[in-house]
Amino acid sequence: MATSQNYANHRHRPYAWNVAWISAIVAAGVLIWSAYQTPSAQPLALAMLGVAVVIGVTLTRLFALRLQNRIIRLEMQVRLARFGREKDIARLTMPQLVALRFASDAELPALIDRTLAEQLSSDQIKRAVTDWQGDFGRV
């Protein structure tokens, strides 16, 4: 894990999850092909199990990301409340909030104003951050 974070290295790539998801897709495909070639109870049950595993692995990742987004929204509500800007939370999209959390407290109010005025994308916001605050707890 990096000891510092910036725009160039901030993206989180969950390699283990990607390997698990691809493996589940391949296994499900093989099991579906087997059930198609030999349509009996056991291959059909295995194909259904393979599909269930793909769905389960996918949902696990989606639920983790949704929970993380809720936590980020709460974090940003607290940070914006410190500046008396809690009403701005409703005017910002979730991707904008995710990007703004990398900004330091010193640059956050001005960056929020600019984001709202220019409707900056999350990538534009991240590129505008000068004092990067890393997030080392991504899932």
Q: Kind and range of the H or E element at 56? A: helix 41-82
User: Given its phi and psi angles, is residue 119 left (phi above 0), alpha (psi -120 to 50 degrees) or beta?
Assistant: left
Of 10 and 127, more confident? 127
d(CA 125, CA 133): 13
What's the pLDDT band for 133 if we cut at 50, 70, 90?
Answer: confident
Q: What's the pTM?
A: 0.76
Q: What are the C-alpha distances in Å from 5 to residues 48, 78, 131?
A: 42, 22, 10
Give per-residue pLDDT as tens, 3-40.
777 776 677 778 888 999 999 999 999 999 999 999 99
What pLDDT does 17 receive? 87
The mean per-residue pLDDT over the stretch 119-130 comes to 93
Give me the count of residues in the chain: 139
